[in-house]
């Protein structure tokens, strides 16, 4: 730290403060060089973080292309609107189907007999109860006589049932002749979610809790709506569900019923959405190009301006570049010769490399390939069987690559990236840092070393400044004595 002492050169006539500052500036040059190196290392850490984000983005896009749901897209067209909502995932299969709606799922709802005032206590003694069964669980709500108004009963039921059965108070009469009723509504639709065994021992709160059971027990007038299943005939097969969702009937196709008119029917067609598939591949291409552009910018070199970026020649850039080139363009001659179908590489599928290393999509070629054989097109990207060539399940070995008939490019690329960038441990307790973690740790270690050296030099500089101030102070004191003696002798 700069000294607060000022000696000013009054005795010698010299600007000693300026001399000391100049000397200290010279001695500070190595510190400034160390600080510049430290700043450079921090910039590298920041850029490694940016690069890591780009590589992670590419890895995620590749991983998405490695599954049918991630790669393929289907669209559904219906012969009539308003009967059901349809959608399809990548697991769907193209085809035409029929749907006939028999009934929609309904909610079980009950109403107690009316009372004239919802704030008047209905119980006569403590411990009277309202009981019911829902979804296999029995509920019994005990009430104190002083807290047994219709409003208080509704609140107690909502607390006990945790909103699985919702209680509300409704005036079904008029203002002049009110009739307040306690209404219980099941949370879920369907026959499996009916409210049963509904009873009340509260003196002023009555209900007929007998619900239809198909065995001669008729629906009570208090059972406003009976919980029933949705029924539909899909491709000639009668199917029931507790909700209006029939998404588990046809693989990859979501069906949600809308129209309750019995016998309402619609025909719907599932077909591949090739433009959406191409859009997903375009997202992958864009992510790849971002990585390539970052590497190119950092590794660019000009004779006049020098290196293009702080990460020029960095091992992290070169390792990722080699990994990507191997996975995208590293097919052997044997692999090329074995590809008799013409679906064995990105280039053959319409993803072409440009002069600057980035990729572009040849729309005409990609459309032709998808139109000719969409399954073969998908097989290049998707690992359908989920096993490597040794029969090991995917994910059990960080270094294997699938060589079965379905190439699995998406998964292979994602695993190749993981193999170099992810930190991992083994069964022996050893831990290996991934590419980015290891590089950042190395840079942080450099910064720590620079901080230590800067601190040492700052301490040395403070001591030097103190010594200079002391010496120049001694000089000023000596010069002052000599000038005083000279003046005395010259009198």
Q: What is the model's pLDDT at position 163?
A: 86
Starting at the edge strand found earlier in the chain, the sheet holding 223-225 runs 165-171, 180-189, 107-111, 223-225
pLDDT grade for 396, boundaries at 50, 70 and 90? very low
**What does the pLDDT average to over 381-401?**
52
Question: By percentage, how much of the chain surpasses pLDDT 70?
Answer: 88
Token pair for 114: 């009316």
Q: Cα angle vertex 65, ends 62, 71, to 5°?
A: 155
Q: Does the structure show a pLDDT above 60 at 128?
A: yes
Q: Does the structure show a pLDDT above 60 at 10?
A: no
Question: What is the spatial distance between Cα 230 and Cα 245, in angstroms, rounded to a whole number?
Answer: 8
CB 229 within 8 A of CB 191: yes
Residue, of 384 and 402, whose pLDDT is higher: 384
Q: What is the model's pLDDT at position 332?
A: 67
Q: What is the pLDDT of residues 49-71, one digit of tens each?
A: 999 999 999 999 999 999 888 99
Residue, of 375 and 403, whose pLDDT is higher: 375
**What does the pLDDT average to over 401-426?**
75
CA dihedral 277, 280, 281, 284 (to 10 degrees): -170
Q: What is the pLDDT of residues 146-203, one digit of tens each?
A: 999 999 999 999 999 998 999 999 999 999 999 999 999 999 999 999 999 999 999 9
Beta-ladder partners of 37: none
Q: What is the model's pLDDT at position 111?
A: 96
pLDDT grade for 219, boundaries at 50, 70 and 90? confident
Q: What is the model's pLDDT at position 21?
A: 84
pLDDT grade for 210, boundaries at 50, 70 and 90? confident
- Across 124-138, 256-270, 304-318, 398-412, least confident range: 398-412
CA-to-CA separations, 124 to 121, 167, 179, 207, 463, in angstroms, rounded: 8, 22, 21, 17, 93
pLDDT grade for 407, boundaries at 50, 70 and 90? low
Q: What is the model's pLDDT at position 484?
A: 73
Q: What is the model's pLDDT at position 16?
A: 76
pLDDT grade for 466, boundaries at 50, 70 and 90? confident
pLDDT grade for 370, boundaries at 50, 70 and 90? very high
Q: CB neighbours (10 Å) of residue 25?
A: 10
- Across 18-27, 176-185, 242-251, 270-279, least confident range: 18-27
Chain mean pLDDT for the chain: 87
Question: What is the spatial distance between Cα 67 and Cα 90, in angstroms, rounded to a whole number?
Answer: 8
User: What is the DSSP-derived secondary structure letter of residue 159?
Assistant: H
Q: Cα angle vertex 444, ends 439, 445, to 5°?
A: 95
Q: What is the model's pLDDT at position 260?
A: 66
Helix locations, 66-162, DSSP H: 68-71, 150-161
CB 469 within 8 A of CB 7: yes
Residue, of 387 and 115, whose pLDDT is higher: 115
Token pair for 132: 């019911």
Q: Where are the domains of the chain?
A: 1-73+273-330+371-491, 74-104+230-272, 107-225
Q: What is the model's pLDDT at position 96?
A: 97
pLDDT grade for 4, boundaries at 50, 70 and 90? very low
Q: What is the model's pLDDT at position 390?
A: 41
pLDDT grade for 386, boundaries at 50, 70 and 90? low
**What does the pLDDT average to over 305-320?**
87
Starting at the edge strand found earlier in the chain, the sheet holding 195-200 runs 137-143, 128-134, 195-200
Q: What is the pLDDT of residues 77-98, one digit of tens each?
A: 999 999 999 999 888 999 999 9
Element (H, E) at 369: helix 363-372
């Amino acid at each position: 730290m700069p000294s607060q002492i000022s000696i000013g050169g009054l005795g010698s006539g010299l600007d000693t403060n300026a001399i000391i500052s100049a000397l200290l500036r010279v001695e500070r040059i190595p510190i400034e060089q160390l600080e510049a190196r430290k700043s450079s290392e921090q910039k590298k850490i920041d850029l490694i973080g940016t690069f890591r984000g780009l590589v992670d983005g590419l890895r995620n896009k590749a991983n998405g292309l490695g599954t049918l749901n991630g790669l393929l897209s289907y669209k559904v067209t219906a012969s009539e609107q308003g009967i059901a909502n349809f959608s399809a995932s990548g697991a769907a299969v193209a085809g035409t189907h029929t749907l006939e709606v028999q009934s929609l799922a309904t909610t079980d709802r009950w109403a107690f007999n009316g009372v004239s005032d919802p704030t008047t206590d209905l119980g006569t003694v403590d411990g009277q109860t309202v009981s019911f069964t829902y979804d296999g669980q029995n509920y019994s709500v005990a009430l104190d006589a002083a807290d047994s108004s219709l409003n208080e009963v509704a609140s107690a039921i909502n607390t006990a049932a945790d909103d699985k059965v919702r209680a509300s108070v409704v005036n079904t009469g008029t203002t002049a002749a009110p009739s307040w009723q306690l209404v219980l509504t099941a949370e879920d639709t369907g026959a499996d979610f009916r409210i049963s065994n509904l009873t009340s021992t509260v003196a002023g709160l009555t209900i007929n809790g007998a619900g239809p059971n198909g065995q001669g027990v008729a629906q009570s007038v208090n059972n406003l709506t009976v919980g029933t299943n949705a029924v539909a005939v899909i491709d000639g097969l009668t199917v029931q569900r507790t909700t209006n969702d029939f998404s588990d009937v046809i693989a990859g196709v979501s069906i949600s019923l809308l129209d309750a008119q019995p016998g309402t029917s619609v025909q719907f067609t599932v077909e591949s959405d090739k433009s959406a598939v191409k859009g997903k591949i375009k997202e992958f291409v864009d992510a790849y190009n971002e990585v390539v552009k970052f590497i190119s910018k950092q590794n660019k070199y000009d004779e006049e301006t020098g290196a293009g970026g702080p990460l020029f020649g960095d091992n992290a850039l070169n390792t990722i570049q080699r990994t990507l080139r191997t996975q995208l363009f590293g097919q052997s001659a044997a692999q090329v010769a074995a590809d008799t179908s013409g679906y064995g590489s990105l280039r053959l599928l319409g993803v072409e490399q440009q002069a600057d290393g980035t990729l572009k999509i040849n729309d005409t070629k990609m459309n032709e390939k998808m139109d000719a054989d969409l399954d073969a097109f998908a097989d290049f990207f998707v690992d359908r069987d989920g096993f490597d060539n040794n029969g090991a399940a995917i994910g059990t070995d960080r270094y294997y690559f699938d060589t079965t008939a379905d190439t699995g490019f998406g998964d292979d690329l994602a695993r190749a990236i993981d193999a170099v960038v992810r930190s991992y441990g083994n069964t022996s307790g050893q831990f290996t840092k991934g590419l980015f973690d290891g590089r950042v740790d190395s840079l942080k270690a450099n910064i720590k070393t620079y901080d230590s050296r800067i601190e040492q030099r700052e301490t040395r500089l403070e001591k030097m400044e103190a010594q200079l101030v002391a010496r120049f102070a001694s000089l000023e004191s000596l010069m002052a004595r000599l000038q005083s003696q000279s003046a005395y002798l010259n009198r």
